[in-house]
Chain A
């Protein structure tokens, strides 16, 4: 919801760049690129200090399970008894050199952990984005075309319903219907055990199951993976589909009222073509912008979706690590998410600037 209000006032909080007319794309890209770093830096700092307010990672993870003297020895060994600022700068230095440490609970290198679970989340995100676009854009076109009439009313209601239904409740309903009552689709997981095994034995896996299955020509596994993907993708996709529907509708209504569309209509261009080509293309810019903002919403939704469907991705792992108070792992995941969000916003701004020169300040 907030993203829609946001979409109308994109430059309210823009960087404090001088409002001169010139500058060119190169300068804009550079300024915008440099702004990625403060975003990541602030989030990493915020999470570092927030997690440290609660105490040192070792006590948090192992407190109560080890006697106090052993605990103290391990805290000293890891250097957590030094002043917090010293630790903070050391942490920043480690990040800068690409050393993210080892998780405390299962002793895995953070980078490896991120790579393993990140691809699972990426797969879920791609699947649900496809669902969201397939549902949201055509329905938005219909709503705009039939503005203020019954189809529009129903579709707008549907969009709000998509927003109002938490992903985990949508997931629960989908499970009850398609897995339990009808028995068509599996209840949870990314794939059945056999497929998981086959995927882990591949030579150079990308980690994205359907891609790996396609490459190895294992079509039985592909079917299994597809069956497992449907429900999570729909649950998370519907959430975003509602946003796309409303966005396409609002922007299409704007462009459908323009003179050139009227001119096209008078030349005898079909209504279908008017909606899908003439009016749709200029309406794309705000859609691309908000699509970038949706990445953040999707990552949040992924945590809930992954927990609902036991999809072993970053979100599922994050909940596990948080429960285990594994701060090193949590910081690693937050760092990765911050990078993803910052880079997506950067790419979105650049794409918007290239499409529409007026966006640049």
Chain B
């Protein structure tokens, strides 16, 4: 670990703080006050709920995501909530509660895979582009701009058509969706990391590393990368919510994962659309609410982090408050 390089840039106070306080979310909770803290805590709880459902779906769900019968016989189609099926069943005879729970697992897997791939590709390209500059930089910038300007969902659809030819397995579908979402996200990471790299390239510690004779790769990998990534937790959180929405959008349009290989909220909503005219609400409302709550949770966390990182937006403690926060009064960025 090159703690020496990072520490050189940060105030000494943060070096002494225990690890728990330096982690992205926990440190933000400590910084926050009042309304901002409420929003952050709601966000953290909803996100926690989503992750718990995702991890423990096999234990929590009463039935499998593609199960349409049990020992007592075939499940009824479009059964109202109650009895054996607390949230009812769909037109295909799936148990809605089970599909919503399993759906959180699908969503979480897609988030992890797609964001990991985007960070990897986006950060690498951003570092290269920002550090070396020149024609490579110009070409990458123009391409990233073009992709960024285009409606992201449409891009994801085109990608998923290309990738998912007859992909019906769980991992095949997950990968196809994740790659489609990755293509949308890479320009965002690229932009942020490139801008940071250009800024950091002019810093004295990078110049001194050059003078000492460190190779370009070492400077990029150690000195710049370690310092350029401070905005990543924020983008990560915001992108996770966008990933859920894109996945649901793909599923809703029928370009997502097959219902027999995984439960997916968007797909279920598509099927629920036809039910609305006959007044059947439970097939659509439950998966829909699941999407809204997961996205809401992640967005609240991301938003609060964004506000807390920005001193102009950070909430101020009232003058008479007992706990006088050290950080809240500082004008500049930490």
Contact with A along B175-196 (1 / 0, CB 8 A): 0000000000000100110110
- C-alpha gap A307/B255 in the complex (Å): 13
Q: Given known contacts A53-B162, A161-B296, A169-B269, is B149 in contact with A303 (CB within 8 Å)? A: no
CB A283 to nearest CB in B, in angstroms, measures 14
Interfacial chain B residues near A169, Cβ < 8 Å: 269, 284, 288, 291-292
User: How many Å from the CB of A44 to the closest CB on chain B?
Assistant: 10
CB within 8 A of B295: which of A156, A164, A254?
A164
CB contacts (< 8 Å) of A47 on chain B: these are 158
Once the chains are docked, how many angstroms separate the CA of A221 from the CA of B272? 30
- Residues from chain A with a CB closer than 8 A to the CB of B192 are 5
Residue of B nearest to A174 (CB): B276
Contact pattern, B 151-185, Cβ under 8 Å of A = 1, otherwise 0: 11110011101100100000000000000000000
* A148/B249 in contact, CB under 8 A: no
- Contact status B143-A42, CB under 8 Å: yes
How many residues belonging to A are interface residues under a CB distance threshold of 8 Å? Answer: 61
CB–CB B162/A54 < 8 A: yes
Give the docked Cα–Cα distance between A307 and B154 (Å). 13
Measured between alpha carbons, how far is A304 from B299 in the docked complex, in Å? 21
Q: Is the CB of B272 within 8 A of A172?
A: yes
How many A-B residue contacts, CB cutoff 8 Å?
176
A9 interface residue per 8 A CB criterion: yes
A166 within 8 A of B: yes
Beta-carbon contact of A166 and B154 below 8 Å: no
Contact of B279 with A by CB under 8 A: yes
In A163-183, the 8 Å CB interface with B consists of: 163-166, 168-169, 172-173, 175-176, 179-181
| Cα distance, A169 to B288, chains bound together (Å) | 6
Tell whether, in the assembled complex, residue B153 and residue A304 are in contact, meaning their CB atoms are under 8 Å apart.
Answer: yes
Which secondary structure characterizes the binding site on chain A? Answer: helix
Smallest CB separation, A212 vs chain B (Å)? 27
Which B278-303 residues sit within 8 Å CB-CB of chain A? Answer: 279, 281, 284-285, 288, 291-293, 295-296, 299-300, 302-303
With A54-B161, A54-B162, A322-B255 as contacts: A163 and B299 at CB distance below 8 Å: yes
Please tell me if the beta carbons of A180 and B302 are within 8 angstroms of each other in the complex. no
B12 within 8 A of A: no
Looking at the assembled complex, report how far the CB atom of A211 sits from the nearest CB atom of chain B, in whole angstroms.
Answer: 25
Q: Show the binding face of A for B, using Cβ within 8 Å.
A: 1-2, 5-6, 9, 12-13, 16, 38-39, 42-43, 46-47, 50-51, 53-54, 148, 153, 156-157, 160-161, 163-166, 168-169, 172-173, 175-176, 179-181, 187, 250, 254, 296-297, 299-301, 303-304, 307-308, 318-319, 322-323, 325, 330, 334, 337-338, 341-342, 345
8 contacts between A and B (CB under 8 A): A13-B144, A43-B147, A51-B161, A148-B35, A166-B248, A168-B248, A303-B253, A307-B253
- Known: A2-B188, A303-B151; 19 extra A-B contacts, CB below 8 A, are A9-B195, A38-B142, A39-B145, A42-B142, A50-B158, A51-B161, A160-B303, A161-B296, A166-B245, A168-B266, A168-B270, A172-B273, A173-B288, A187-B276, A300-B154, A303-B253, A319-B253, A330-B158, A338-B150
